Amino acid sequence: MRKIAVFASGSGSNFQAIVDAVVAGELQADIQLLVCDKPGAKVVDRARKHGIPVFTFLPKTFASKADFEKEIVSELQAYGVEFIVLAGYMRLIGEVLLGAYEGRIVNIHPSYLPAFPGKNAVGQALEANVAETGVTVHYVDSGMDTGPIIEQVKIPVLPGDTETTLQERIQKAEHQLYPAIINKLVQKDIVGGIVQ
């Protein structure tokens, strides 16, 4: 079974959906490690509750992104991690991590990319007054939500939607889509750093 690490920064609802899918046998992967850049985040408690090892760090205590990413890569290698899943990790991945895991890092984003990349995608969609937004699973590259798209679903924006109501519907879709796509990806062979 493929050994994966999940990176998250916040409450960890997508992390929980991934854990639940593993427990239910719907996702054939071993979660070896949670990587979190906010030691007090709720996702850390979720991981510990499930007995999943946690690596937390404070970026400001490192001289550079390269320095903390070297530390992360060292942790990932110690656990034999083969595949990285970003689930609400609020940092751009830098050259060190990309170099070590190119083609083996995926992210989920709460919009129908390329529309509304970056932070507050739900708020961006509402402000733009669009009829629909969505959810996108994509490979990670050096840009902000610019990597090759793997799968997308559209989510209608309903009259009277607030950030809260739209976010809830988007998260419901994310929690179904992401574990299913991760399962497909980890069942495939990794050849030359790219999932085939």
Binding residues: 12-14, 65, 90-93, 107
Helix axis angle for 42-49 and 13-23, nearest 10°, is 10
Task: Give the active site residue among 50, 109, 138, 175.
Answer: 109
Report how far residue 14's alpha carbon sits from residue 154's, in angstroms, rounded to the nearest whole number.
Answer: 18
Q: Which residues pair with 132 in a beta bridge?
A: 156
Helix (H, G, I), strand (E, B) or coil at 155: strand
Report how far residue 2's alpha carbon sits from residue 70's, in angstroms, rounded to the nearest whole number.
Answer: 22
Position of tokens 């390269």? 66
Q: Is 175 a catalytic residue?
A: no
Residues flagged as binding site for (6R)-10-formyltetrahydrofolate: 65, 90-93, 107
Positions marked active-site: 109
